[in-house]
Amino acid sequence: MVEGLLIGLQTVLSIKNFLMVVGGCLIGTFIGMLPGLGPMSIIAIMIPVAISIGDPSAALILLAGVYYGAIFGGSTSSILINAPGVASTVATSFDGYPLTRAGKAGKALTVAAIASFVGGTVGAILLLFFAPALASVALLFHSAEYFALMVVGLSAIAAFAGSGQVTKALLMTVMGLMLATVGEGAQFNLPRFTMGLMDLQSGIGFITLAMAMFAIPETLFLVLDPSRSDKSGEGSSKIKDLRITKEEAKQIAPVIARQSIQGFLIGVMPGAGATIASFLGYAVERNIAKPSDRDLFGKGSVKGLAAPESANNAACTGSFVPLLTLGIPGSGTTAILLGALIALNVSPGPRLMQDQPEIFWSVIISMYIGNVVLLILNLPLIPYIAKVLTVPRTFLIPFILFFTLMGAYIGQNNPTELLFLVGLGVLATILRLASFPLAPLLIGFILGPMLENNFSRASQLYDGVSFVWERPMTTVLLAIAVLLIVLPSLKSRFGKVKFFDV
């Protein structure tokens, strides 16, 4: 391992590769801040640039830097304007945006920066030591378990939606899964639910749906109620106060430590990834918090902000484990990275560590350096980043809408996609007015194809659904999923214990 580390250090510390890390982080942060432009679209856009570099280690280092930068930038837009460009920073906005509206945007950004830094660094250290061991655990999972694991993930998200919200969240999850079946999937090569429209042949774009669910309702709310943006204006005037108190540091330290490890472990599981890690991290921290602290969650709690931030960064690092050691992408973003690697003539898998150690180790080392670069770059830049809040709303709103439209257009290069975006955005606004949670819909949409693929594969192996009771692990996981849904609903119905109270 020491030998590997030295090879990695040698590769990363060349001037060219170091510039790749810095450049990648910068590009990622700035583009990731734009609402709607998440790591997936940024990495997809950067692939031609990376391929033109030619050197696989340099290209992968650049793309990995862009990835961390985008997650970091995504949290910034979640906190400042409640427009998460990425599903994994949705949980960040739960407490980050209330903090901004309370005039503590600077503090929120500092907490996010520190939590991300620790989460990412702890993730990188764990990856270094546990990659081979964790890969062998992940190898024990078959498609039946992957299927059950995703069902648990989706149920957990619905269960954690809060009191009186579980059935609504469940309905939204099913809606997301349904939207994912639209189009011609790779599995069957048959167009499904396209209503004969050519524009639906390739399905609904993830970026389009993400922006329709988050950026458009938020912007329309800003338009409907001008006082909302005035409140953000008040917040920005106090942006200079970046410091966090000793008390707050004490509060968030154990949260960050727990969530860095939990986030990493969730990130390693394919299909789970940063999104589930951030939601689970948030839910777990809320449920184990003291009742007085729990009441603050959702209203601007620093714990509620630190939990998803450290979890999602640790999970991003964790998702590299299955990619680098098994060649299986754990998330949409790592799937795009897998595509880039194949284009660069590198086949990730168990042999990567032996055949091309410089690639494997340089990516791991670039994670440490990337995290340091992000902390050094972002903390001093926070007051400037937050200047986006002082832009008058007559300029801000048209530009947010325009970037939202551009994000959907760049992804698909098709004006019809913009009509889908507007239609879905209006629907999402109405759903939000009726307090239907929208995040489960998007997560259902992301996990939908993977869920169906694993379900089909397991059914084919067992010639039916007997895998549900023939594989004990699957049975246990599915039972957990049912309990997760039923318990809070029953509790809410009979009002005995408010366990999942928001």
- Three-class SS string for 240-295? CCCCCCHHHHHHHHHHHHHHHHHHHHHHHCCCCHHHHHHHHHHHHHHHHCCHHHHC
Q: How far is the CB of 211 from other proteins (least distance, A)?
A: 11
Shorter beta-carbon distance to other proteins: residue 27 or 284 = 27
Q: How far is the CB of 328 from other proteins (least distance, A)?
A: 21
Shorter beta-carbon distance to other proteins: residue 130 or 399 = 399
How far CA 253 is from CA of 17, 242, 247, 259, 378, in Å, comes to: 33, 17, 10, 10, 20
Interatomic CA distance for residues 296 and 492, integer angstroms? 21
Shorter beta-carbon distance to other proteins: residue 163 or 356 = 163
Query: What interhelical angle do 90-101 and 105-140 show, nearest 10?
Result: 170
Shorter beta-carbon distance to other proteins: residue 139 or 430 = 430
Q: How far is the CB of 463 from other proteins (least distance, A)?
A: 5
Q: How far is the CB of 299 from other proteins (least distance, A)?
A: 9
In the three-class reduction of DSSP (H, G, I as helix; E, B as strand; rest coil), residue 489 is classed as: helix
Q: How far is the CB of 495 from other proteins (least distance, A)?
A: 8
Interatomic CA distance for residues 305 and 284, integer angstroms? 13
Nearest C-alpha neighbor of 281 from the set 295, 264, 269, 294: 264
Nearest C-alpha neighbor of 324 from the set 60, 49, 48, 8: 60
Interatomic CA distance for residues 29 and 494, integer angstroms? 47
Shorter beta-carbon distance to other proteins: residue 360 or 455 = 455
Q: How far is the CB of 430 from other proteins (least distance, A)?
A: 7
Nearest C-alpha neighbor of 249 from the set 381, 377, 114, 120: 114
> How many Cα atoms within 13 Å fall on the side-chain side of residue 254?
7
Q: How far is the CB of 165 from other proteins (least distance, A)?
A: 7
Interatomic CA distance for residues 237 and 70, integer angstroms? 26
Shorter beta-carbon distance to other proteins: residue 46 or 315 = 46
- Return the CA Rg of the chain: 22
Interatomic CA distance for residues 417 and 490, integer angstroms? 41
Shorter beta-carbon distance to other proteins: residue 258 or 393 = 393
Contact between 481 and 152 under an 8 Å Cβ cutoff? The reply is yes
Shorter beta-carbon distance to other proteins: residue 2 or 190 = 190
Contact between 323 and 330 under an 8 Å Cβ cutoff? The reply is yes
Q: How far is the CB of 240 from other proteins (least distance, A)?
A: 25
Shorter beta-carbon distance to other proteins: residue 11 or 219 = 219
Shorter beta-carbon distance to other proteins: residue 181 or 356 = 181
Helices marked H in 387-471 — which ranges? Answer: 393-412, 415-433, 439-462, 467-470
DSSP designation for 471: S
Give the number of residues written for the chain.
Answer: 502
Shorter beta-carbon distance to other proteins: residue 201 or 416 = 416
Q: How far is the CB of 261 from other proteins (least distance, A)?
A: 29
Contact between 448 and 180 under an 8 Å Cβ cutoff? The reply is yes
Interatomic CA distance for residues 159 and 502, integer angstroms? 11
Interatomic CA distance for residues 37 and 144, integer angstroms? 33
Shorter beta-carbon distance to other proteins: residue 291 or 392 = 392
Q: How far is the CB of 360 from other proteins (least distance, A)?
A: 29
Q: How far is the CB of 154 from other proteins (least distance, A)?
A: 11
Close Cβ partners of 371 (under 8 Å, ≥ 6 residues apart):
68, 116, 117, 120, 121, 124
Shorter beta-carbon distance to other proteins: residue 266 or 485 = 485
Q: How far is the CB of 355 from other proteins (least distance, A)?
A: 32
How far CA 370 is from CA of 25, 157, 180, 218, 259, in Å, comes to: 7, 30, 34, 31, 20
Q: How far is the CB of 168 from other proteins (least distance, A)?
A: 6
